[in-house]
Amino acid sequence: MNALRHLQDELSELERAGLLRTPAAAAPAAGMLVLCSNDYLGYAALPCSSGGGAASGAGASRLVSGTHEAHLMAEREIAAWLGTEAALLFSSGYAANVGTVSALARPGDVIVSDALNHASLIDGCRLSGAAVDVVRHADVEAVESALLRAQGARRRWVVTESLFSMDGDSPDLRRLRELCDRHDAALVVDEAHALGICGPRGTGLCAEVGVRPDVLIGTLGKSLGLHGAFVAGSSTLRTYLWNRARSFVFSTGISPLVALESVHRVRRAAADDPGRVRLAMITRQLRSGLHALGAPLLPGSSGPILPWILKSPGAAVAMSQRLAQQGILVQAIRPPTVPAGTSRLRITASASLSEADVERAVAGFREAVR
Ligand SMILES: Cc1ncc(COP(=O)(O)O)c(C=O)c1O
């Protein structure tokens, strides 16, 4: 008997639907141009600058014996960068979102959640036990209607990303803030893709438009080029999550080595206006090269995330394979990561690309669409 025989059946079903994902090779082959990472500022390949000043492992949950000076330094540095009272590190953005949303919202509450929110936000909503009102993507009127419907709820929460990971666009954060204030709701913003690349000193899209969310979530794994994440906000929020966020409480603390390195990366990103200027320049060059090829990029995307919609999973995979033959790595993004009928190439720019790289990439795309 094989109690797991149904697994192969499910995998075969995924394969028939063009949705099977096969584990990737350890690293892109040498010479491959990578146009699908979140390493927007090109920091991921940097060696650690912090040397041997911190332990490699926390050794336990932060609540037990796992809090090291490096964690506290990183949390102070992040809070100072973002102008919040406090911050709390998590071992990943997934853990931060699941743990935070599920700790904050409760049965009897209503969470108004953007239809394109990241899976980790969705899972946090589900785990919270609150009623979840999923609203049309980036539709402020839909948020207002949902908040009106939620007037009788115990508490109201509006959960959104600032720069959406798959569509590369943004909601009207100022109007969301106004709506939250008017309807006594808390605003939770995931800035995973905006921190480091927009706002003054890379402090994100909320800062760029002068909005202060009640809860700001950021990751160390994207523009900062490490791994891990944090939640920034009031000291009370930090203490609350310390007590209530299950993905924090019941998990080994993030590596102190990574925490210490994040202090350097935050300082580097804060000072890296030249990197942001370069990223904007590379993004413009890539975007105009793709437009010249007639690429149907999503019109709302404005930053370094350029979604090329191919609709069917098969078309997206075939295009990704043709690009690989040209030495360009761009993975096909298919359901359930994106809605059915919107399979795509999620092309990303990075400050680490040279102008010649972009020319080579555009030439590769030209060949792939022939
Ligand atoms: C918007 C958003 N939030 C959270 C995460 C999860 O972050 P991490 O990769 O650190 O788990 C991602 C990662 O893809 C993301 O795109």
- Whether 97 is catalytic: no
Residues 208 and 113 in one domain: yes
CA atoms within 13 A of residue 156's CA, in its CB half-sphere: 23
Residues 278 and 214 in one domain: no
Residues 83 and 230 in one domain: yes
Tell me how long the chain is: 370
Residues 102 and 233 in one domain: yes
Q: What beta strand segments (E) does the chain contain?
A: 33-34, 86-90, 110-114, 131-135, 156-161, 185-190, 215-219, 229-233, 305-311, 328-329, 332-333, 343-348
Query: CA angle, 348 as apex, 28 and 49 as ends, to 5°?
Result: 65
* End position of a domain, from candidates 208, 235, 270: 270
Is 307 a domain residue? yes
Instruction: Quote the pLDDT of residue 51.
Output: 65
Residues 177 and 244 in one domain: yes
- Whether 118 is catalytic: yes
Is 257 a domain residue? yes
Residues 161, 167, 261, 357: which is the catalytic one?
161
- CB-ligand 1 contact for 348 (6 Å cutoff): no
Residues 361 and 332 in one domain: yes
Average pLDDT for residues 108-130, to the nearest whole number?
98
pLDDT of residue 49 exceeding 90, the answer is no
Which residues are within 8 A (CB) of 99 and not within 5 positions of it... i.e. 6 or more apart? 90, 124, 241, 245, 246, 247, 248
Residues 95 and 158 in one domain: yes
Is 2 a domain residue? no
Residues 229 and 110 in one domain: yes
- CB-ligand 1 contact for 225 (6 Å cutoff): no
Band (138; pLDDT cuts 50, 70, 90)? very high
Which residues are within 8 A (CB) of 214 and not within 5 positions of it... i.e. 6 or more apart? 180, 186, 187, 188, 233, 237
Which residues are within 8 A (CB) of 150 and not within 5 positions of it... i.e. 6 or more apart? 110, 112, 131, 133, 156, 183, 185
Residues 230 and 208 in one domain: yes
Instruction: Quote the pLDDT of residue 164.
Output: 98
- Whether 222 is catalytic: yes
Instruction: Quote the pLDDT of residue 318.
Output: 95
Which residue out of 37, 40, 97 has the highest number of ligand 1 atoms within 8 Å of its CB and is therefore the one to mutate?
Answer: 97
Instruction: Quote the pLDDT of residue 25.
Output: 73
| Dihedral angle of Cα 114, 244, 252, 238, to the nearest 10 degrees | 80
Domain that holds residue 313: 273-369
365, 290 Cβ separation under 8 angstroms: yes
Residues 144, 190, 191, 272: which is the catalytic one?
190
* End position of a domain, from candidates 232, 249, 270: 270
Q: Any idea which residue has 């990472």 for tokens?
A: 37
Which residues are within 8 A (CB) of 241 and not within 5 positions of it... i.e. 6 or more apart? 88, 99, 100, 103, 231, 248
H or E element, residue 276: helix 273-292
Q: What CATH number did the domain enclosing 133 receive?
A: 3.40.640.10
pLDDT of residue 326 exceeding 90, the answer is yes
Average pLDDT for residues 43-62, to the nearest whole number?
89
Span 168-206, pLDDT tens digits: 999 999 999 999 999 999 999 999 999 999 999 999 999
Is 35 a domain residue? no
Q: What CATH number did the domain enclosing 289 receive?
A: 3.90.1150.10
Band (23; pLDDT cuts 50, 70, 90)? confident
Residues 266 and 179 in one domain: yes
Residues 89 and 117 in one domain: yes
Average pLDDT for residues 337-349, to the nearest whole number?
96
Span 271-319, pLDDT tens digits: 999 999 999 999 999 999 999 999 999 989 989 999 999 999 999 999 9
Query: CA angle, 139 as apex, 159 and 119 as ends, to 5°?
Result: 40
Q: What is the Cα–Cα distance from 201 to 270, expressed in whole angstroms?
A: 4
pLDDT of residue 115 exceeding 80, the answer is yes
Is 39 a domain residue? no
Q: Any idea which residue has 């994100």 for tokens?
A: 204
Secondary structure of residue 62 in the 3-state scheme: coil
Span 222-250, pLDDT tens digits: 999 999 999 999 999 999 999 999 999 99
Is 56 a domain residue? no
pTM: 0.96
Which residue out of 94, 121, 170 has the highest number of ligand 1 atoms within 8 Å of its CB and is therefore the one to mutate?
Answer: 94
* End position of a domain, from candidates 228, 243, 270: 270
Q: What is the Cα–Cα distance from 189 to 82, expressed in whole angstroms?
A: 13
Report which ligand 1 atom has the smallest distance to the Cα of 227.
Answer: 10
Calculate the average pLDDT of the chain: 96
Is 196 a domain residue? yes
Report which ligand 1 atom has the smallest distance to the Cα of 229.
Answer: 10
- CB-ligand 1 contact for 92 (6 Å cutoff): yes
What is the tally of structural domains in the chain? 2
Secondary structure of residue 323 in the 3-state scheme: helix
Is 352 a domain residue? yes
Residues 226 and 344 in one domain: no
